[in-house]
C-alpha cells in the first residue's frame, strides 16, 4: 500500500487541552480596536484548537524532515529549502497562531496567575510536540526501502504545497485568518 501525504497529515490534528484555562480568554480582544471583538468560551476553544493545529503541523514537518535528514544526508539541502519555502508561504498563519496563543497566555496570566499560564504553555508545548513525534514515528515505522521513498515524497509534497496550512488544515486556517 502506498502512503500518501494525506495519510501522514491525519496525524497532525492536535488534542484540545487545558480548556479550563481558556476561560480567561473569553473577553480578550483579538482583532481591531479593543472594543470591536470579544470572544466567547466556544470561540476561545476554537481559536486555540486552530492555533495548536497550525503549530503542530509546523513542528511535525520539522520533525519529519529531521528524521529524513538523519537517514539520508543528501536530503539535508533540499529538505531545508522546502521547509524554508513552506515557512514563507505559511507565514501569515504561523504569525497569527503565535499571536493568538500568546494573547491566551497573557490573559491566563493576568486572570489566573503566571503559574497557571506556565502550566498551559507546557501542556500546549507537549501536545504540539506529541503530534510532531507521531509524524516522525509514521515515517520510522516503515521498512527501510519505503522510508527512502516516503522521505523523497515528503519533500515533494511540501514543495508542491500539499502541507500548506490552507490546503492541509483549511478549517484551522479559516478560523485563524478570520480573527
Candidate ranges 29-38, 80-89, 121-130; pick with highest mean pLDDT:
80-89
Residues 6+ apart with CB under 8 A from 83: 61, 62, 65, 158
Looking at residue 39, its pLDDT comes to: 59
Share the mean pLDDT of the chain: 77
Average pLDDT over residues 35-53: 71
Confidence band of 4 (pLDDT split at 50, 70, 90): very low
Residue-wise pLDDT for 45-59, tens only, equals 788 889 988 988 999
Instruction: State the average pLDDT over residues 101-117.
Output: 82
Q: Is residue 15's pLDDT more than 50?
A: no
* pLDDT, tens digit (0-9, with 9 covering 90-100), for 71-104: 889 999 999 999 999 999 999 999 999 998 888 7
- The confidence score (pLDDT) of residue 162 equals 96
| Residue 166 pLDDT level (bands cut at 50, 70, 90) | very high
What is the reported pLDDT for 161?
Answer: 97
6 vs 131, residue with greater confidence:
131
> What's residue 9's pLDDT?
43
- Does the pLDDT at position 40 exceed 70? no
Average pLDDT of 24-53? 61
pLDDT at 30 over 70: no
Contact residues for 56 (Cβ-Cβ < 8 A; gap 6+): 12, 13, 14, 127, 128, 131, 132
Q: Which one has a higher pLDDT value, 46 or 20?
A: 46
Amino acid at each position: 500500500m502506498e502512503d500518501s501525504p494525506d495519510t501522514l497529515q491525519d496525524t497532525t490534528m492536535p488534542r484540545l487541552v487545558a480548556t479550563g484555562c481558556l476561560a480567561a480568554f473569553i473577553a480578550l480582544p483579538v482583532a481591531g480596536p479593543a472594543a470591536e471583538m470579544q470572544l466567547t468560551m466556544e470561540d476561545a476553544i476554537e481559536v486555540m484548537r486552530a492555533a495548536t493545529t497550525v503549530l503542530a503541523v509546523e513542528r511535525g514537518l520539522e520533525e519529519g524532515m529531521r528524521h529524513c535528514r538523519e537517514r539520508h544526508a543528501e536530503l539535508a539541502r533540499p529538505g531545508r529549502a522546502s521547509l524554508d519555502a513552506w515557512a514563507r508561504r505559511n507565514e501569515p498563519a504561523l504569525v497569527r497562531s503565535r499571536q493568538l496563543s500568546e494573547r491566551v497566555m497573557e490573559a491566563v496570566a493576568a486572570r489566573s496567575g503566571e503559574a497557571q499560564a506556565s502550566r498551559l504553555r507546557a501542556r500546549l508545548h507537549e501536545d504540539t510536540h506529541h503530534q510532531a513525534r507521531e509524524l516522525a514515528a509514521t515515517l520510522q515505522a516503515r521498512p527501510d526501502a519505503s522510508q527512502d521513498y516516503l522521505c523523497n515524497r515528503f519533500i515533494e509534497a511540501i514543495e508542491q504545497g500539499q502541507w500548506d496550512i490552507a490546503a492541509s488544515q483549511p478549517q484551522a486556517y479559516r478560523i485563524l485568518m478570520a480573527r
